Amino acid sequence: MTRLLVPAFVALALSACGAPPRAPTEAPAAQPAADAQVENTAPAGEYTLDKAHSSLIVGLSHLGYSQFRARFTIWDAHLTFDPATPENTRIRVTIDPRSIASDNPPAGFIDQMRGPDFLNAAQFSQITFESTSIERRGDRRARITGNLTLHGVTRPVVLDGKFNGGYAGIAGMDPHARVGFDAHGTFNRSDFGMGYGVPAPGTNMGVGDAVTVSIETEFNGPALAAAPAAATP
């Protein structure tokens, strides 16, 4: 996720402070474009979640005044990746509902989220999502339909996904293939038997029914193929 913004920011700051302009210098030698290494070169195969570069955030309305955000800290995913035929790509996600967390929660709030009013994690100890179809929706975008099992109920849910790029590996830096995706969607929690606190029709007095989902992921894939040995003279 490196960006080349720091040098530009420093140059702008120096200019604003009245730093003297530098004399023109010879243009630097051309360097290999990063995209040459990372642009759509990831191979087909089995990929595992890079948890250090992934997040799963959910949100829902609080009284109509704000979108409350929470996250799951323990989850995993397995990807079967097919770049030649994206429709054949498949993903399975597992989530520990006991791992729900939020910023600055009131006393007892997380226990209520885990308890019978909401996730009922003691009885339903796992949330899963398994894709059933992937439909291309333009350049790098797709509609992902899958079965979400939550609170003991399984229903279809649709996510809008985007492929952010990938590579086969970088010698001396990253010995495995890598791909990145993001996905977003919405479902009603009442469809999964979690109607506690849903506002009465025509009001916002409560906790919204619609749950938004925002996922950022990177996956590690097959090992980088070794370069062919140089032929002996």
CA–CA distance from 48 to each of 51, 83, 176 (Å)?
Answer: 9, 16, 11
Average pLDDT in the 216-230 region?
Answer: 84
Q: Is residue 18 part of a domain?
A: no
Identify the bridge partners of residue 103 per DSSP, sorted by sequence position: none
CATH at 168: 2.40.128.110
Q: Is residue 195 part of a domain?
A: yes
Cα-based torsion angle of the residue sequence 150, 153, 158, 163 in order, rounded to the nearest 10 degrees? 40
Q: Is residue 45 part of a domain?
A: yes
Q: Is residue 25 part of a domain?
A: no
Q: Is residue 138 part of a domain?
A: yes
Q: Is residue 27 part of a domain?
A: no
Counting the structural domains of the chain, the total is: 1
Contact 220, 50 (CB under 8 A): yes
The domain in which residue 120 lies consists of 37-223
186-203: per-residue pLDDT in tens?
Answer: 999 999 999 999 999 999
Task: Look at 31-45, 68-82, 84-98, 204-218 and tell me which has the smallest mean pLDDT.
Answer: 31-45
Any alpha helices (H) in the chain, and if so which ranges? 6-16, 34-38, 109-114
145-204: per-residue pLDDT in tens?
Answer: 999 999 999 999 999 999 999 999 999 999 999 999 999 999 999 999 999 999 999 999
Contact 49, 182 (CB under 8 A): no
How many other C-beta atoms are found inside a 10 Å radius of the C-beta of residue 192? 21
Contact 72, 99 (CB under 8 A): yes
Average pLDDT in the 20-30 region?
Answer: 44
Q: Is residue 26 part of a domain?
A: no
Hey, which bits of the chain come out as E strands? 45-49, 55-62, 66-72, 75-81, 90-95, 100-101, 127-136, 141-150, 153-167, 176-188, 210-223
> Is 70 exceeded by the pLDDT of residue 5?
no
Looking at every residue in the chain, the average pLDDT score rounds to: 85
Q: What is the pLDDT of residue 138?
A: 84
Q: What is the pLDDT of residue 232?
A: 60
CA–CA distance from 164 to each of 22, 23, 96, 181 (Å)?
Answer: 37, 39, 26, 5
> Is 60 exceeded by the pLDDT of residue 231?
no
* Block residue for tokens 């996720």: 1
The Cα–Cα gap between 157 and 159 comes to: 7
Q: What is the pLDDT of residue 8?
A: 33
Task: Look at 22-31, 36-45, 107-116, 175-184 and tell me which has the smallest mean pLDDT.
Answer: 22-31
